[in-house]
A and B are shown apart, each in its own frame.
Chain A
């Protein structure tokens, strides 16, 4: 049993090898620790990828962690654990996006912070509007640019790690990030 009370000394985006080893031996507490470590990032990537669709984000999150936990016995440790995890995230998001091609978003605002009411400062309203607009712009990116931008932003992966997660070369990662961010800027800037 791993002592989960000890603080992890790894970089913030990498879970400890001992946790992974404990998961491989079926330690349920280690599974929970693994889930708690990555859940916010996985869910956030999926949620913004699907423009606030909590159901879709929940499905992707569940799918990723179930695959992770049932397949962890096959993880050989010859690459970073997070690389494998994010490969699962990429595949799950892109597969779901292909199925949802003509569908999309939720109507309503259940997951968004509420927009400031009429009595609030105009500045706070502007800030809330800006956040809404950025989310919409991200959701409007072509899927391959969208997943690259979100992975980079939320996970702070190196280009080498992103290349493995995205099944492409580092040059392609650089190109997708350049193009994706440029499209975002064009959408947000208007004229």
Chain B
């Protein structure tokens, strides 16, 4: 009986960890006019206490053949769990944003390619952990080749 209870708890924790994720959207989704110029907004899901989650983002890019990485400041909305990414990377080159987050013991990650007119939802990828360097490189290569909508 005890083993069954422990197994249930482990499965439940595992399920909760799987539920923590990012949802991305256009600035209109934030309902916060201060974000109207943001590249995109995002929210976390599956985190019992969003105020205690740790969120980070980097802009990863290739500019004239040189690989670059810029730490980003994620802007928090007054609404818990809703954030904005404002473009502080150069207009030149191909760029994507790598999001990573932790909530208790759960992790989440996302790769969000950026195009001049905004983010590319269809090419965005989501993970239950931060994206790996090879995943980021692959996404950048696809961007550079124009392999996105």
Residues of A within 8 A of B (CB): 121-123, 125-126, 129-130, 133, 188-191
Contacts and interface: CB of A to CB of B under 8 A. Distances in A.
A129 B37 contact: yes
A121 B88 contact: yes
A133 B34 contact: yes
What secondary structure prevails in chain B residues at the interface with A?
Answer: loop
9 contacts: A121-B88, A123-B73, A123-B75, A126-B34, A126-B37, A133-B33, A188-B34, A189-B31, A190-B33
Nearest to B31: A191
A125 B34 CA distance: 11
Which 9 pairs, one residue from A and one from B, show the smallest C-beta to C-beta distance?
Answer: A190-B33, A191-B31, A122-B87, A130-B34, A122-B86, A121-B88, A122-B88, A123-B86, A123-B88
Contacts of A126: 34, 37, 75, 86
Contacts of A122: 37, 86-88
A122 B36 CA distance: 12
Contacts of A190: 31-33
A189 B34 CA distance: 8
Interface string B49-77: 00000000000000000000000010100
Contacts of A125: 37
Nearest to A125: B37
A129 B31 CA distance: 17
Contacts of B33: 133, 188-190
Tell which of B31, B33, B75, B86 has the most Cβ of chain A within 10 Å.
Answer: B33
Interface in B12-39: 28, 31-34, 37
B13 to A, nearest CB: 36
Interface string B69-94: 00001010010000000111000000
Nearest to A185: B78
Nearest to A134: B34
A133 B34 CA distance: 9
A183 to B, nearest CB: 15
A130 B37 CA distance: 11
Contacts of A130: 34
B40 to A, nearest CB: 13
Contacts of B34: 126, 129-130, 133, 188
Contacts of A123: 73, 75, 86, 88
Contacts of A133: 33-34
A188 B28 CA distance: 13
A102 B51 CA distance: 45
Given A123-B73, A190-B31, A191-B28, 19 more contacts: A122-B37, A122-B86, A122-B87, A122-B88, A123-B75, A123-B86, A125-B37, A126-B34, A126-B37, A129-B34, A129-B37, A133-B33, A133-B34, A188-B32, A188-B33, A189-B31, A189-B33, A189-B78, A191-B31
